[in-house]
């Protein structure tokens, strides 16, 4: 191994700040006349329990410590005393301090007003604490990595959410074992197995059966948990900074409208699952959006997204659906490739983007670039973000990740406007919301989008090997056009005249929730990024629902659903490796 390779490995395995355990310690002088009152106050807080601290994301522990001189047999009660604040956390210090101020501001103010200089310096708790920070190690530390010998332990400590989840799972297993002792099922072990699966199926991400063309990353379950963790941290930070109490998505926070449409299946060579019956129609809802995690001006350079939900009520059988029954979602992006090739790369990218200090972000960004594929990630991010469209639908949309297409194919999806002459732009593009205005003007007459599948070759002289298909499924940075993917029209999306950007429709769009795992089994999501989405989108939706008065919900059609149409024939055979790839 060359010295350059060794250096790259060292930098890549170094702890990234948002995934490492940190400490913050500060020392403050206590006003002599406040010694007794401070100790009484801390005793009251100590007796109040720790539930209020558990609400602070990333906080492992927090301790107030009063230090008094100990020289001599009897300490002098009048001698100056000091107050130490020791905090241990994962994530960014600025986030922790802002959360403490926001959630426990009254308590924090009550303690700090007993300290020297607090009112003289403006009674600003966070600035007061930062000025008294001590460069020191941990006064108290957690248990460290859950699996110290694992490769991910060199990148990330155990986060507080991981620790709590592990404790909860341990308790649930002990309770299950107590209620279902193996000795009581000696003659019927299958019944015990059924109960175990009913209780714990889906808890372990690593135990889900893969498609034959999928390949799990080393320690993939850990990377998936961290991806979900970082996305929720983004939501928490945005909620705190927006000051309106709304918990937004971790990305695509601003929608431009909530559009109703008709998804009509076309005749094609891939009449599988959803696309099985030409002429069949489904009600659809579309939400075009900016990719940013905050509500920003439409003129800013940004990636863009298009979420589509199909109402397939009455179609198929109950066991046909991977998520919500009778629901098929497509999440599209304005680039054929995603900004990360797999979930590990995505976690590393999110970790760097989550750093608050610009100098530290630049330093750790350079270390991130030492990793394999990082430069390609940056190029894709720039390519898709340096976009300022004049209309929210006037882009080519791509799923970026792979999906099963029946039992013998893998595909990606794309969509694009079929009648660009119907596009009407906004007269005033200086407006912060001009994309919503442009969408509203276009829908006065209606639009049509074509929906395509991009299918990799599995038969004939150009058929890819099983190894090549697996790489294409697991690495979203690969160019499928160069791999010979066939682009085939399978449906059209007819958008009729409507007021898509009216306040009521926009409000519906903001509380709507989309998930690529809302899918028929014939269109199962594939690859590590899609496997990560299964957990991240579920937890993100729960987080939004828990912190808002209106829970995140499935998009509802604007009008009563039409009578059920004939069910499409579904490929019910279990997934198999294409014959040419076996």
SS3 494: strand
Same domain for 310 and 167, yes or no, is no
Q: Which residue, among 397, 459, 392, has the nearest Cα to 426 in the 3D structure?
A: 392
Number of domains in the chain: 2
**Which CATH number characterizes residue 46's domain?**
3.30.70.100
**Length of the chain as a residue count:** 582
Task: Report how far residue 344's alpha carbon sits from residue 350's, in angstroms, rounded to the nearest whole number.
Answer: 10
Same domain for 143 and 239, yes or no, is no
* Contact (CB, 8 A) for 412 and 403: yes
Same domain for 118 and 231, yes or no, is no
Is 66 among the domain residues? yes
User: Domain range holding 534?
Assistant: 220-564
Burial class (CB in 10 A: 0-12, 13-18, 19+), 54: exposed
* Contact (CB, 8 A) for 176 and 198: no
Task: Report how far residue 344's alpha carbon sits from residue 336's, in angstroms, rounded to the nearest whole number.
Answer: 19
* Contact (CB, 8 A) for 24 and 93: yes
Query: 438: Cβ–Cβ under 8 A, 6 or more apart, which residues?
Result: 390, 391, 392, 423, 424, 425, 426
Tell me, what DSSP letter sits at residue 49?
-
Is 50 among the domain residues? yes
Same domain for 257 and 160, yes or no, is no
**Which CATH number characterizes residue 301's domain?**
2.40.180.10
Same domain for 178 and 226, yes or no, is no
Is 322 among the domain residues? yes
Task: Report how far residue 220's alpha carbon sits from residue 250's, in angstroms, rounded to the nearest whole number.
Answer: 21
Same domain for 392 and 506, yes or no, is yes
Is 207 among the domain residues? no
The crossing angle, in degrees rounded to 10, of helices 374-385 and 343-353 is 70
Query: 135: Cβ–Cβ under 8 A, 6 or more apart, which residues?
Result: none
Phi-psi region of 179 (alpha: psi -120 to 50; beta: other; left: phi over 0): alpha
* Contact (CB, 8 A) for 314 and 567: yes
CA 558: distance to chain centroid?
Answer: 28
Is 571 among the domain residues? no
How confident is the prediction along the chain (582 residues), in pLDDT tens digits per residue? 466 665 555 555 555 666 778 889 999 999 988 988 998 999 888 777 667 788 788 888 888 988 887 655 566 666 788 999 999 888 889 999 998 998 888 889 999 999 999 999 999 999 999 999 988 766 666 555 556 566 666 666 778 888 888 888 889 889 988 888 877 777 778 888 888 877 776 555 544 678 999 999 988 888 998 898 888 888 888 878 776 666 777 778 788 888 899 999 999 999 999 999 999 999 999 999 988 877 888 888 888 999 999 999 888 787 889 888 899 999 999 999 998 999 998 998 888 888 888 888 888 888 788 777 888 888 888 888 888 888 888 899 999 999 999 988 999 999 999 988 878 777 677 788 888 888 888 887 778 999 999 999 988 888 899 999 999 999 999 999 999 999 999 999 999 887 766 677 777 777 788 999 999 999 999 999 999 998 888 888 887 766 544 445 566 554 433 333 333 333 333 344 333 333
Is 550 among the domain residues? yes
Same domain for 443 and 519, yes or no, is yes
State the Cα angle at 443 between 440 and 448, rounded to 5°.
135
Task: Report how far residue 398's alpha carbon sits from residue 417's, in angstroms, rounded to the nearest whole number.
Answer: 13
Same domain for 51 and 113, yes or no, is yes
Same domain for 465 and 534, yes or no, is yes
Same domain for 311 and 433, yes or no, is yes
Beta pairing class for 59-67 and 259-265: unpaired
Is 167 among the domain residues? yes
Question: Position of tokens 């906004």?
Answer: 426
Same domain for 27 and 154, yes or no, is yes
């Amino acid at each position: 191994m060359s010295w350059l390779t060794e250096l790259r490995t060292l930098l890549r395995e170094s702890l990234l700040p948002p995934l490492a355990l940190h400490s913050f310690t500060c020392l403050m002088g206590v006003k002599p006349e406040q010694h007794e009152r401070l100790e009484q106050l801390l005793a009251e807080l100590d007796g109040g329990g720790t539930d209020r601290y558990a609400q602070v994301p990333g906080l492992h522990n927090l301790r107030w410590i009063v230090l008094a001189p100990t020289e001599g047999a009897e300490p002098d009660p009048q001698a100056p005393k000091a107050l130490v604040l020791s905090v241990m956390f994962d994530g960014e210090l600025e986030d922790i301090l802002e959360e403490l101020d926001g959630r426990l501001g009254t308590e924090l103010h009550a303690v700090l007003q007993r300290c020297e200089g607090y009112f003289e310096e403006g009674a600003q708790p966070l600035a007061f604490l930062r000025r008294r920070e001590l460069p020191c190690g941990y006064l108290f530390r957690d248990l460290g990595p859950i699996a110290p010998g694992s490769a991910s332990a060199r990148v990330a400590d155990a986060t507080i959410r991981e620790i709590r989840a592990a404790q909860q799972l341990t308790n649930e297993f002990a309770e299950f074992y107590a209620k279902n002792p193996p000795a009581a099922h000696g003659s019927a072990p299958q019944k015990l197995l059924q109960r175990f699966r009913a209780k714990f199926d889906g808890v372990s991400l690593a135990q889900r059966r893969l498609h034959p063309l999928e390949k799990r990353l080393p320690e993939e379950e850990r990377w998936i948990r961290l991806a979900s963790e970082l996305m929720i941290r983004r939501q928490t930070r945005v909620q705190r900074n927006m000051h309106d109490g709304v918990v937004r998505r971790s990305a695509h926070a601003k929608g431009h409208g909530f559009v109703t449409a008709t998804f009509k299946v076309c005749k094609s060579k891939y009449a599988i699952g959803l696309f099985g019956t030409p002429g069949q129609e489904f009600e659809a809802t579309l939400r075009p959006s900016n990719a940013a995690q905050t509500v920003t001006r439409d003129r800013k350079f940004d990636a863009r997204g298009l979420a589509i939900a199909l109402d397939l009520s009455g179609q198929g059988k109950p066991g046909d659906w991977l998520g919500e029954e009778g629901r098929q979602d497509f999440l599209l992006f304005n680039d054929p490739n995603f900004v990360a090739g797999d979930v590990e790369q995505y976690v590393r990218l999110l970790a760097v983007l989550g750093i608050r200090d610009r100098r530290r972000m630049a330093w750790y960004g350079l270390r991130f670039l030492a990793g394999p594929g990082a430069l390609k990630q940056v190029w894709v991010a720039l390519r898709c973000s340096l976009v300022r469209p004049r209309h929210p639908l006037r882009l080519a949309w791509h799923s970026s990740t792979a999906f099963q297409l029946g039992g013998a194919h893998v595909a990606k999806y794309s969509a694009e406007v079929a009648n660009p002459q119907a596009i009407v732009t906004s007269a005033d593009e200086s407006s912060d919301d001009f994309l919503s205005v442009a969408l509203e003007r276009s829908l006065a007459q209606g639009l049509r989008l074509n929906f395509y599948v991009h299918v990799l070759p599995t038969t004939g002289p150009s058929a890819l090997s099983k190894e090549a298909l697996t790489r294409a499924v697991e690495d979203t940075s690969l160019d499928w056009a160069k791999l010979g993917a066939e682009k085939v029209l399978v449906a059209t999306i007819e958008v009729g005249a409507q007021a898509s950007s009216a306040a009521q429709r926009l409000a519906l769009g903001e509380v709507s929730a989309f998930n690529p795992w809302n899918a028929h089994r014939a269109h199962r999501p594939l690859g590590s990024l899609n496997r990560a989405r299964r957990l991240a989108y579920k937890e993100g939706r729960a987080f939004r629902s828990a912190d808002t008065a209106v829970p995140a919900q499935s998009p509802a059609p604007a009008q009563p659903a039409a009578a059920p149409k004939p069910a499409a024939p579904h490929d019910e055979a279990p997934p198999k490796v294409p014959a040419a790839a076996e």
